[in-house]
Amino acid sequence: MSTTDSSTATPITQGKRRIGDVVFANTARGSGVLILLILAGVAAFLLIQSFDSLSANTANFLTTEEWDANTRENPAFGVAALAFGTVLAAAIALLIATPVAIGIALFIVYYAPRRLAAVLGYIVDLLAAIPSVVYGLWGIGYLVFQLQDFYVLLERYLGWIPLFAGPISTTGRTMLSAGIVLAVMILPIITAMSRDVFRQVPQGHREAALALGSTRWEMIRMAVLPFGRPGVIGGAMLGLGRALGETMAVAMILSPSLVISPFLLQSGNQTIAAHIALQYPEATGYGVSALIAAGLVLFAITLVVNMGARFVVARRKEFS
């Protein structure tokens, strides 16, 4: 014990705080604060830059459908049609994706053999990693042609429902196509979230149901779905948030027009995000500022949806 006398030589009193600790802790805190500043900056810059065009706008920004902003003289533009299109596309995607995602999640957790389930888990994650521009390319370069036959049938037999009324677009570049591609894109998000909550269902609950003599489906209905519902809802809302903000797939597939139209099989409608991407390169006059204003609306919509999703998910955590 005599080789080092550090224990007696170093006094345990050391007046100053360690420099390393101070620097490190402050760097960490600084990074966190920087994130807050960035986010504040996003909101502030968008507000400031949109103010210009909004104050010059001669039409009501929230109720006007047309977009006449690329001018210095009396611009008149609004987001009514865009907001409608955004919500419509996302709603279609959500309606298609949610049931399928629940099915896949159940399959992965309760039906598939274990090894297949692991592979499927990877595949779902992989689907989520494919860039949206590739989905868009696939949609416009392949899927719309395949869907055309289906649309013909849909119009022939279900055309009496206004949604599917003709005359159908001959290019397939419709709201329904955009919605279907968006559905494929958000499928992995909802699946991953549902899969995680289904996995967390306590074994006790499941075995209790099985011990009552229930079939697998009854077990799922009694034990799994009630437990997982908030998680599934949260996942669906995150997917909705993604679908609302998705730009490229819609910009590439949809043949746009700035009117509010409920006809899914005809060309028409447009979403905020796609509109910004398409218009930005040609924007002049108040154009850019007006697009920033539209972006602000999109930001607000997704913010509300995402916060709703977090709230639902967080509440579930409290109960489990």
Partner 1 sequence: MTTTTRTPSTGASGDGPAQRQPRLLSGSLPRFAPPAVLVAAALVSAGVLAALGAFSWPGTAVLAAVLYLVAIGALSTAVENGRKAKDRMVTGVVYICFALAMLPLVSLLSTVLVNGLERLDGYFLTVSMNGVTPSMDAGGVYHAIVGTVAITLMAAVISIPIGLFTAIYLVEYGKGRLAKAITFFVDVMTGIPSIVAGLFVVALWMMLFGPGETNGAAGAVSLSVLMIPVVVRSSEEMLRLVPNELREASYALGVPKWLTIVKVVLPTAIAGLTTGIMLALARVIGETAPLVLTAGSSAVAINWNLFDGQMMSLPVFIYAQVRMGGAINMERAWAAALTLIVIVMLLFLAARLISRFFAPKLGR
Partner 2 sequence: MAKRIDVSGLHVYYGDFLAVEDVSMTIEPRSVTAFIGSSGCGKSTFLRTLNRMHEVTPGARVEGKVMLDDMDIYGPDVDPVQVRREIGMVFQKANPFPTMSIYDNVIAGAKLNNQRMSKAQADDLVERSLRGANLWEEVKDRLNKPGAGLSGGQQQRLCIARATAVEPTVLLMDEPCSALDPISTLAIEDLIHKLKENYTIVIVTHNMQQAARVSDQTAFFNLAGTGKPGKLIEMDETNKIFTKPEKQETENYITGRFG
Closest CB to partner 2 among 23 and 212?
23
Contacts of residue 137, Cβ cutoff 8 Å, sequence gap at least 6: 252
Residue type, 4: T
Which residues, in sequence order, are CB contacts of 188 under 8 Å at separation 6+? 124, 125, 127, 128
Q: Which of residues 2-31 bind partner 1 (CB under 8 A)?
A: 18, 20-21, 23-25, 27-31
Using CA atoms, how far apart are residues 289 and 320, in angstroms rounded to an integer?
47
> Is residue 1 part of the contact set for partner 1 (CB under 8 A)?
no
Site for partner 2, rule CB under 8 A: 1, 3-4, 6-7, 10-15, 18
Q: Which positions from 256 to 275 touch partner 1 by CB under 8 A, shown as an x/- string? A: -----------------x--
Amino acid letter, 266: Q
- 34 is a contact residue toward partner 1 (CB under 8 A): yes
Least CB distance from residue 129 to partner 1, whole Å? 5
Which tokens go with 305? 């949806």
**Partner whose footprint covers residue 4, from partner 2, partner 1, none (CB < 5 to 8 Å by kind):** partner 2
Answer yes or no whether residue 133 interacts with partner 1 by CB under 8 A: yes
CA distance 188 to 184: 8
Taking CB under 8 A as the rule, which mask of x and - marks residues 233-252 in contact with partner 1? -----x--x--xxxxx--xx
Q: What angle separates helix 114-129 from helix 175-200, to the nearest 10 degrees?
A: 140
Sites for partner 1 among residues 89-108 (CB under 8 A): 99-100, 102-104, 106-107
Looking at this protein, which amino acid is placed at residue 43? A
